[in-house]
């Protein structure tokens, strides 16, 4: 008999993007049989955060760098101005989910130029009815853009 259960279904996807370039990532979500989900009524959330740091109490502390429009989080990354924090608090926007299982997350070039260069972590969650599930996670690397 199995003595473990893993309820973490999040897939790992590392993202590298360029500061100041438009960001667009389309996701096709399927059920366990491979059939596209009808995403009508789904909500999505994306947060990009600094890598965790350990405190003396051992509790991990991550600071929000940017969030989707469905997040109530506020940006408070170290070194960002209040203006940058405001622009990034709703920086990632999800399109309405389709009946063909496709949802797209975007951020404008103006939003992306406010992101600090560096390596961060992110996750994307979906909410269907009252069930919240993290579907993607990984590193989020922002490379410098010399043109802006």
The closest of 107, 118, 125 to 47, measured between CA atoms, is: 125
- What architecture does CATH give domain 11-143? Sandwich (2.60)
pLDDT at 8 over 80: yes
> What average pLDDT does the segment 7-23 reach?
94
> What average pLDDT does the segment 129-143 reach?
93
> CA distances (Å), 110 to each of 92, 107, 130, 136, in order?
12, 8, 33, 25
114 vs 52, which has greater pLDDT?
A: 114
pLDDT at 11 over 90: yes
Spell out the long-range contacts of 78-83 with Cβ–Cβ below 8 A and sequence spacing 24 or more: 78/50, 79/116, 80/114, 80/116
Residue 139 near residue 49, CB atoms below 8 Å: no
How much is the pLDDT for 93? 85
Query: What are the pLDDT digits (tens) for 45-104?
Result: 888 887 655 444 444 455 666 666 332 233 334 455 666 555 566 678 888 777 889 999
**Burial of residue 21 (number of CB atoms within 10 Å: 0-12, 13-18, 19+):** middle
What number of CA atoms fall less than 13 Å from residue 114's CA on the CB side?
24
pTM (2 decimals)? 0.76
Place of tokens 């059920």: 31
What is the token pair recorded at 110?
Answer: 């103006």
User: Mapping DSSP to helix (H, G, I), strand (E, B) and coil, where does residue 88 land?
Assistant: helix
């Amino acid at each position: 008999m199995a003595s473990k259960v893993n309820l973490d279904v999040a897939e790992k996807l590392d993202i590298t993007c360029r500061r100041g370039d438009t960001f667009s990532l389309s996701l096709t979500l399927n059920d366990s049989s491979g059939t596209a989900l009808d995403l009508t009524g789904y909500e999505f959330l994306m947060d990009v955060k600094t890598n965790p740091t350990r405190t003396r109490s051992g509790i991990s502390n991550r600071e929000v760098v940017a969030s989707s429009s469905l997040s109530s989080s506020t940006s408070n990354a170290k070194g960002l101005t209040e203006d940058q924090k405001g622009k990034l608090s709703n920086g990632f926007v999800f399109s309405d989910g389709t009946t063909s299982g496709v949802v797209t997350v975007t951020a404008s070039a103006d939003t992306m130029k406010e992101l600090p260069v560096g390596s961060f972590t992110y996750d994307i969650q979906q909410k269907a009815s009252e069930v919240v599930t993290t579907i993607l996670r990984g590193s989020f690397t922002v490379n410098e853009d010399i043109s802006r």
